[in-house]
Amino acid sequence: MSMRVTFVWKDRENNVIRIEEALKRSDSIYYAVDFKIDAEKVDLPAEAYITLKGREANYRVLVEEILPYTEEVEHIKMEKARKYNALLKISEIVHIAPIPLNTFTKADGDVLKRVTKLSFIQVREYDVSLVRKFGEPTEEEKKVLAMARKMGADIPMAIVRTIVDAWKRYDLTEKQLEDVVKLAVEDYERKRVDEHEAVGIVAAQSIGEPGTQMTLRTFHYAGVAEMNVTLGLPRLIEIVDARTKPSTPMMTVYLREDIRHDEEKVKEVAKSIEATTVTDVGSVEISIADMSVILRMDAEKMRARGVEMNDVVEAIYRMKGYKVNVETEDTEIRVKLEAPSYKKLYLLSQDIKTLTIKGIKGIKRAIVRKSQDNAEWVIYTQGSNLSEVLLLNEVDRVRTKTNDIWEIAGVLGIEAARNAIINEALNTLQEQGLNVDIRHIMLVADMMTLEGAVEPIGRHGIAGKKASVLSRAAFEITSKHLLRAGIVGEEDRLEGVGENIIIGQPITLGTGAVTVVYRPPAAKKKG
C-alpha cells in the first residue's frame, strides 16, 4: 500500500541555489538526505519542503524518485563526515511564503503530514519516523566554533555563519580564517554587556536623548509624493505607546517575480486592491416621495475605477440587516426597503455611502511607483489590510509589509510584531539622521512583547505592571497604588532602581550590586 509523504529538512541557501541552477540547465539533480525513507511505501511524486531556519518551510520541491544512497553515485559531491541514507531526485523547486512547521497537519484520507517536533516527522498510519537533526552545525561551522572557543569566546551561530560565508566566498587560507575569527571574538567581547549593567536605563537614555532632536512634522514618504506618512517624534511615540491604529497606516506591496516588471499588470493589481465605495463613483440621495434611496452613478468615474453597474447592485444585495428591492435605469439605481420607515431609510442611505463595491476594505488608495533602487514596480497603499492583501496570488508574501504593528501581531504573530517594532523604530530614527545602537531598541521591543501581546510603555502597560509598589507609585497616581498595596498587603523587596532612590539607599546595580562585609581578624589567644 502506497502513501503520499511530505518530507521536511533543514538546509543552507547555497544548496538551494545549486538545485535551482541544475534545474535551469535541465540536469538530473539527486539530493542526499540523512533520514531513512521506505521508498516502497511512498506514493511518488511526493512534495517536500526545505527549511532554512529550522522553524518554517521556505521552499517546496517535487520528489520524482527515491534511491538508496551509495557512495558510487556520481551526482553527489560527497561530504565525508556526513552519513547519508537516501537520495531524492528533485524535478521542481518553488520559493514559497514561509510556512511555520507547526501548521503541517495530517490531511483527510490517506495523506500523512504531521510535524510533531522540529527534529522529526511522524507518519501516523505506519508508525514510521523520518529522523532529521535540525540546526546541526556543518563541519565548517564546527571548525570556526572550535577556533573561537580556543580563544575564550562562545560566539553566536549568526556570527559563525557570516564567517563561514566569507571563508567560502573569498577562499581564505587557514591563517586568514584564524585572523578573521580573532577579530570577531575581540569585537564580540568588546560589545558584551558587563555584569550588573543597568541596561534599561542606558537604553532609555540612548533612545530618549536623540528623541529630543527629532522633528514634529509629518513628511512625505520617500518616493511617493502623493502620500503622507507620520515620521519623526509622533511616529516614535505611536510605536512605544502601542497605538492600535497608526495615524497614517500604509503598506508596501511587492509582487511576484513574473509580474513585478510589467507596469500595466501591476496597475491592474493596484486597481483590484484599492477599495472603491459608492461615494467614489457616484452620489447618494434620499427620496421621501417614494421612500427610496437613489444612487446617481458617474460613468466616467466608474470606468476609471473599473466598476460596472452590476457590481454596485451585487454589493447592495450583500448588505446585512436589510431586505431591499433594487431597480436600475441607465446610470441610476433605486433601492427600496421591503418594510420602509424614515429611520431605516436614513440608516440605509448612510450604510450605502460607505459600502465597498470592490477592492480590499481599508485600502483607500493604491499608488504604483518604482522601488527606491529602480529595480521593480511596487504598490504603496494608503490604509492597511495585511490579511486580505496576503491572500492575493500576485503578491510576494515574503516582502510585503505594513506599518501597523497590531495588524502584524494578529496576522503573523508576536515574534513578527517584535521585529516590526525594531524595524519601525530604527527606520524612524535613521530617517532623522540619528544613529542608535539596535540593541537598545531590541530591549524595548522585547519588553513590549514579553507577555505575548503588544503592550505600551506606560501606566496601562509595562510601567503600570512593575513588581515594586514604590516604583509604580512614583510613576503616576501615587495614592491609588499605595492604598491598594496597603489593603492587599503587598511587599516591596527594593530590588529595582526607582524604589532604592526613593528611600535613599544605593541601587542594586553596578558597584551597588556587590555587598562587601568587613570581617575583623580573630584575636590572638594569650598565654
**CATH no. for residue 336?**
3.30.1360.140
One domain for residues 354 and 343: yes
61, 91: one domain: yes
In a domain, 181, yes or no: yes
How high is the pLDDT of residue 54? 63
Residue with cell 506591496: 253
Per-residue pLDDT of the chain (527 residues; tens, 9 = 90+): 333 445 555 566 766 776 777 777 776 777 777 666 767 767 777 777 777 766 677 788 888 887 776 654 443 444 443 566 777 778 888 888 777 766 654 443 333 333 332 222 222 232 333 333 445 678 888 899 999 999 988 888 888 989 998 998 888 899 999 999 999 999 988 888 888 888 888 999 999 898 888 877 666 665 566 677 888 888 899 999 998 888 889 999 999 888 888 888 888 888 888 888 888 888 888 888 778 888 888 888 888 777 888 888 888 887 777 777 787 877 888 888 877 778 888 888 888 888 888 888 888 888 888 887 778 899 999 889 998 898 888 888 889 999 999 999 988 899 999 999 999 999 999 888 889 999 999 999 999 998 888 999 887 788 777 878 888 888 778 888 889 889 988 888 888 888 889 989 888 888 888 777 777 877 666 65
Domain containing 121 — which CATH number? 2.30.130
- Could you tell me the end-to-end alpha-carbon distance of the chain, in angstroms, rounded to an integer? 97
**Domain stop point among 81, 102, 131:** 131
Q: Residue 466: how many CB atoms within 10 A of its CB? A: 17
Same domain, 59 and 95: yes
Q: Which residue range forms the structural domain that includes residue 264? A: 252-275+360-395
Q: How many CB atoms lie within 10 A of CB 429?
A: 21
Co-location of 256 and 245 in the same domain? no
Q: Is residue 430 part of a domain?
A: yes
Q: By three-state DSSP, how is residue 122 classified?
A: strand
Query: 73 and 126 share a domain?
Result: yes
**Are residue 42 and residue 57 in the same domain, yes or no?**
yes
Structural domain includes residue 521:
no
**Assigned domain for 259 exists:** yes
Q: Let me know: does 377 contact 260? Beta carbons within 8 Å.
A: yes
CATH number at residue 207: 1.10.1790
pLDDT at 73: 45
Phi, psi of 176 (to 5 degrees): -65, -40
At 118 the pLDDT is 26
Looking at the fold, whether 368 and 354 belong to one and the same domain comes out as no
In a domain, 109, yes or no: yes
Q: Kindly report the CATH number assigned to the domain that includes residue 477.
A: 1.10.150.390
Instruction: List the beta strands (DSSP E) in 342-389.
Output: 356-358, 365-370, 377-382
> Are 110 and 206 found together in one domain?
no
Q: How many residues does the chain have?
A: 527
Last residue of a domain, one of 148, 169, 191: 191
Q: Are residues 73 and 178 in the same domain?
A: no
Domain count along the chain: 6
Instruction: Assess whether 382 and 455 both reside in one domain.
Output: no
Residue 2 belongs to some domain of the structure = no
Are 21 and 114 in a shared domain?
A: yes
Chosen domain end from 84, 105, 131? 131
Which runs of consecutive H residues, i.e. helices, occur in 71-197?
139-150, 157-170, 174-191
The answer to the question of residue 409 being in a domain is yes
Q: Is the peptide bond before 156 cis (omega within 30 degrees of 0)?
A: no
pLDDT of residue 107: 40
> Quick one: how many helices (H) and strands (E) in the chain?
18, 20
Phi, psi of 382 (to 5 degrees): -95, 115
CA distances from 29 to 35, 84, 383 (A): 18, 16, 45
Quick check: is 341 in a domain? yes
The CA distance from 291 to 69, in Å, is 79
Is residue 307 located within the same domain as residue 439? no
